[in-house]
Amino acid sequence: MVAELAVRLDDDQISLGCTGDDELADPDVSPERLLFRLYHERGVRVFSPVELEERCTCSAERIEAMLRDNFTAEEREEMVVDGEIEVVCEFCSADYHFKPHEFETEH
């Protein structure tokens, strides 16, 4: 299977190497046509486009659960700066702040 994948990758590089920049950027060549030119020997299937929605699923509850479930109390203590743990979502840049005592479990 790895050898098959390597052959496919080599074939893809060869196919793309035979395509000029002008052909790749030509507005008169549809994506479907370009795919057919490159991969007609293997067969080409084009699916209907799916609209992408840019949205983030982060929340204070999810971040808190991540901190509680994936880090020990000692590790969380090492994250504390100026009395709190700050987490910034890399997707939406939301800024979350937690106090270390919020993670203490009651006995």
Give pTM, 2 decimals: 0.51
**pLDDT grade, residue 24 (50/70/90)?**
confident
Q: Are residues 64 and 94 in the same domain?
A: yes
Helix count and strand count (H, E) for the chain: 5, 2
CATH of the domain at 80: 3.90.1280.10
Q: What are phi and psi of 56, to 5 degrees?
A: -110, 145
Structure-token match 């299937």, residue found: 45
Tally of domains within the chain: 2
The contacts of residue 56 (CB under 8 Å, 6+ apart) are 89, 91, 92, 94
The residue range of the domain holding 73 is 60-103
Residue at 46 is within a domain: no
What is the percentage of the chain residues whose pLDDT exceeds 70? 78
Q: Are residues 29 and 64 in the same domain?
A: no
Q: First CA to last CA across the chain, in angstroms?
A: 53
- Write out the two tokens for 23: 């052909």
Q: Are residues 64 and 93 in the same domain?
A: yes
Residue at 15 is within a domain: yes
pLDDT at 77: 93
Structure-token match 């005592």, residue found: 101
> Comparing 94 with 3, which gets the higher pLDDT?
94
Average pLDDT, integer, range 68-77? 94
